[in-house]
Homo-oligomer: A and B are copies of this chain.
Amino acid sequence: MLYHKLVMGRSRSFDSAETQDAICSQFWDTGYAATSVDDLMQATGLGKGSLYGAFGSKHDMFVRALTDYATAAQSEFRATLEGDDAGALRRLRSYVRAVAKGPGARRGCMLAKAIAELAGRDADVDAIVSDFVKSMERTLVKCIRQAQRCGDVARDADARQLALMLLAVLRGMESLGKAGAGTATLRLIADGALASLTLSLSKRSP
């Protein structure tokens, strides 16, 4: 009994992060509804009982996977865009251009897939997605304000409007990339969006 508990405890903690990754990867590939418990068993190498015992229902597993994904994506986004005022426009530029050539565009963003599949029909997913979008917006607004402070973007431009437009373009680029738009097309969009960030400058300070 003690031995059994020890093994259970050990195997559970040993496998936990790896199993979470496997669950997340499976949902990322095949979405929520199309992922069967059999798929999750195969992806993790666990039996149904162990899987449910350790991670709850399929819905629990999905919500946990999406939360982990969103948290990681938020940290990565902030790490890419945070820095000093002088580098703000350069950071925005390299981020938008990286999205334009982003490898793995065909696998796409797990959040975008969750939005398409479940938005408006699953309150947990809605809450995760809404938090994520607000966090991206805050990060972009902050970075654009930094660029405004050092005169790279017009000081009187509406930073929130520019941030939201950029966010829409970024989401749109991902969608068009998945729809088969090539790198040259995406780069054209990226450059156009970046130009309109700084065009507002040419207009306002002739």
Contacts and interface: CB of A to CB of B under 8 A. Distances in A.
A205 to B, nearest CB: 12
Contacts of A200: 199
Contact of A117 (B117, B130, B133): B117
Given A31-B33, A172-B171, A179 B117 contact: no
Determine chain A's interface SS by DSSP, over half rule.
helix
A133 B179 contact: yes
A179 B31 contact: no
A61 interface: no
Interface stretch (A48-56, A74-82, A145-153, A188-196): A188-196
Q: How many identical chains are in the complex? A: 2
A30 interface: yes
Nearest to A170: B172
A106 B119 contact: yes
Given A119-B108, A203-B199, A192 B176 contact: no
A160 interface: yes
Given A34-B33, A188-B164, A199-B199, A119 B169 contact: no
Contacts of A112: 116, 175
A34 B36 CA distance: 10
A193 B129 CA distance: 23
26 contacts: A31-B117, A32-B34, A33-B34, A34-B117, A108-B116, A112-B175, A115-B175, A115-B178, A120-B178, A130-B179, A130-B180, A133-B176, A158-B192, A160-B188, A161-B188, A161-B192, A164-B181, A164-B185, A164-B188, A167-B176, A168-B175, A170-B172, A171-B176, A199-B199, A199-B200, A203-B203
Interface of A: 30-34, 106-108, 112-113, 115-117, 119-120, 126, 129-130, 132-133, 158, 160-162, 164-165, 167-173, 175-176, 178-181, 185, 188-189, 191-193, 196, 199-200, 202-203, 206
